[in-house]
Chain A
Amino acid sequence: MKRFTHDEMAARVARDIPDGAYVNLGIGLPTRVANHLPPDREIVLHTENGLLGMGPAPATGAEDFDLINAGKQPVTALPGASYFHHADSFAMMRGGHLDYCVLGAFQVSVAGDLANWHTGASDAIPAVGGAMDLAIGAKHVYVMMEHLTKDGASKIVARCTYPLTGLACVERIYTDLAVIDVTPAGLVAVDVVPGLPFAELARLTGVPLADGSAAVHVA
Chain B
Amino acid sequence: MAARRRPSRPVIDKIVPTAAAAVADVHDGATIMVGGFGTAGIPFELIDALIATGARDLTVVNNNAGNADTGVAALLKTKRVRRIVCSFPRQVDSWVFDALYRTGEIELELVPQGNLAERIRAAGAGIGAFYTPTGYGTQLAEGKETREIAGRRYVLEYPIHADFALIKAQAGDRWGNLVYRKTARNFGPIMAAAAKCTIAQVASVVGLGELDPEAIVTPGIYVHRVVAIADAATPAVAA
Q: Which residues of A contact B (CB under 8 A)?
A: 47-51, 63-68, 72-74, 77, 83-87, 89-91, 93-94, 118, 123, 125-133, 136-137, 163-167
Contact = CB atoms under 8 A, between A and B. Distances in A.
B5 interface: no
A66 B114 contact: no
A73 B185 CA distance: 16
Contacts of A126: 89-90, 108, 110
A84 B140 CA distance: 26
Contact of B137 (A89, A94, A164): A164
**Residue among A50, A65, A132, A133 with most chain B CB within 10 A:** A132
Nearest to A114: B138
A84 B118 contact: no
B39 interface: yes
Interface stretch (B7-15, B18-26, B44-52, B175-183): B175-183
B105 interface: no
A67 to B, nearest CB: 4
B1 interface: no
Nearest to A67: B182
A65 B114 contact: no
Given A129-B87, A133-B113, A136-B133, A66 B41 contact: yes
B90 A125 contact: yes
B189 interface: yes
Contacts of A83: 180, 182-183, 185
Given A73-B239, A87-B120, A163-B138, A66 B112 contact: no
Contacts of B158: none
Contacts of A74: 236
A94 B40 contact: no
B222 interface: no
18 contacts: A49-B40, A50-B185, A65-B236, A72-B39, A83-B183, A85-B186, A85-B187, A86-B186, A90-B114, A118-B139, A128-B87, A128-B88, A129-B87, A130-B113, A132-B114, A133-B112, A133-B115, A167-B153
Interface of B: 37-41, 63, 87-91, 94, 97-98, 101-102, 108, 110-118, 120-121, 132-140, 153, 180-190, 217, 233-237, 239
Contacts of A125: 89-90, 94, 97-98, 101-102
A65 B87 contact: no
B182 A66 contact: yes
Contact of B188 (A85, A89, A127, A136): A85
A85 B187 CA distance: 6
Contact of A137 (B98, B111, B114, B138): B114
A132 B39 contact: no
**Residue among A47, A86, A127 with most chain B CB within 10 A:** A86
B181 A90 contact: no
Contacts of A77: 182
Contacts of A132: 112, 114-115, 134-135, 138, 140
Contacts of B136: 136, 166-167
Contact of A85 (B115, B132, B135, B190): B190
Contact of A94 (B110, B132, B233): B132
B231 to A, nearest CB: 10
Given A125-B89, A125-B101, A127-B88, A67 B183 contact: yes
The 10 A-B pairs of least Cβ separation, nearest first, read A90-B114, A133-B114, A72-B38, A86-B117, A65-B234, A127-B90, A87-B121, A132-B112, A130-B113, A129-B88
A60 to B, nearest CB: 12
Nearest to B233: A65
A123 B97 CA distance: 14
A98 to B, nearest CB: 12
Nearest to B98: A125
Nearest to A84: B185
B38 A94 contact: no
Nearest to A75: B183
**Residue among A123, A136, A166, A167 with most chain B CB within 10 A:** A136
Contacts of A47: 183
Contact of A49 (B37, B138, B190): B37
Contacts of A93: 114
